[in-house]
Amino acid sequence: MHDIRAIRDNPAAFDAALSRRGMEPQSPEVLKLDEARRAAIHAAETAQADQKAAAKEVGKAKASGDEAEFERLRKLVGDKKTEVAEMQARAKELDAQLTEFLMGLPNLPYDDTPEGADEGDNVEIKRWGEPRAFDFAPKEHYDLPGVQDGMDFETAAKLSGSRFVVLSGAIARLHRALAQFMLDTHTTENGLTETWTPVLVREEMMYGTGQLPKFGEDSYQTREGWWLVPTAEVTLTNIVNGLTVDESYLPRRYVAHTQCFRSEAGSAGRDTSGMLRQHQFEKVEMVSVTHPDRSRDELDRMTGCAEGILERLGLPYRTVVLCTGDMGFGARRTHDIEVWLPGQDTYREISSVSVCGDFQARRMNARFKPESGGKPEFLHTLNGSGLAVGRCLIAVLENGQQADGSVDLPEALHPWLGGKTRLTADGVLV
């Protein structure tokens, strides 16, 4: 959420930043609501002061025997009490309207976030590895002979509908091994704290990280009111919801492997084949909670953590900075990492790492106490995939495929597979 004082102080800068996201000026409506809210608060405070003053005079009038003055003042106190209640209710209503309006506005991009309309304006900043030159036409993951028995979309459709999959045998084990490899690498080499969190959360947690109120259709809600998390960003970031921590507490770096659930609203017709875009999937998620002065450096560190997983697996990738028109709602700057998929002959997103500044912290009321003293300040938060497990499985299968239908598996993964190095065309790990 945005700082209303910053908007009051410099509405032109606020509108200029939003215009980089392709939005019309919003400060006139924000300031109109804010002015009405402040006027209602002032009116309530004035009426309350009048009420207190009249209440003091009631006793004096009673003691003096001036019955007429006593009745007038008593009526005035009652009228002011009603006026105070009305003004306080109006101020509360306007405050809720202002909060709702501000919560619907996206974060302001950093000045060095490239401006653009869509993914065509994203800027590549790194490329690692050379896509393999195949001496045969590479297949997509779901067409590989060794994969077909272990990746069952028909049974999943019977069980749950489209955009689900049942994994079994060697493919299920490979999927699990990838998640374990990622977790172990992040915890033992990258300094992240492994965390296990619920996948059902209260509504206010979804507000805290920005999925609500604007993007409710992208997620699932239970009849009891809980929401299924679209990513562990929701739970990991909200660990500091409502807290004021000591500066020495920072930074906090978390990693969690969870199921994730997304409705994929608006993606009809996209990636309907295979398991690239699913309603239920697994992700190893990284979240950092930092001092404001160090959040930009943390973005680069987290990006490196995600890139390192791909490098260890020998998977070619490129890293791009998302432009203002392609960046997510809560981000100030985002680095997307795209892995090479030879079956599609293109790079596809496998991780998105974003710095949110104090945007989420304001929504969560999460602060820290500076060691130097002074008032508590808002924290900065970051999140990123480290990585999407299913998409990493796709990349491993497609990049390691051989002409005979088998798949050579990355050397870094062998210890997590009990020394197995290859998936045969018959779907067996050997």
268-274-279-284 Cα dihedral, nearest 10 degrees: -130
* Binding site residue list: 231-233, 262-264, 285, 349-352, 383, 385
* Binding site residue list for ATP: 262-264, 349-352
Strand bridging mode 252-261 / 193-194: parallel
Residues whose CB is less than 8 angstroms from the CB of residue 9 and which lie 6 or more positions away in sequence, other chains included: none
Strand-pairing partners, residue 123, are 321
Sign of the CA dihedral with 199 first, then 239, 230, and 176 last: negative
Give the residue numbers annotated as catalytic, written as ranges: 262, 277, 349, 352, 391
* Binding site residue list for L-serine: 231-233, 262, 285, 383, 385
Q: Cα(first)–Cα(last) distance of the chain, in Å?
A: 52
Tokens of 311: 């490098």
SS3 assignment, position 189: coil
305 close to 112: Cβ distance less than 8 angstroms: no
- ∠ CA 260-266-270, rounded to 5°: 85
336 close to 307: Cβ distance less than 8 angstroms: no
Tokens of 373: 């003293």
| Number of other CB atoms surrounding residue 202 within 10 Å | 14
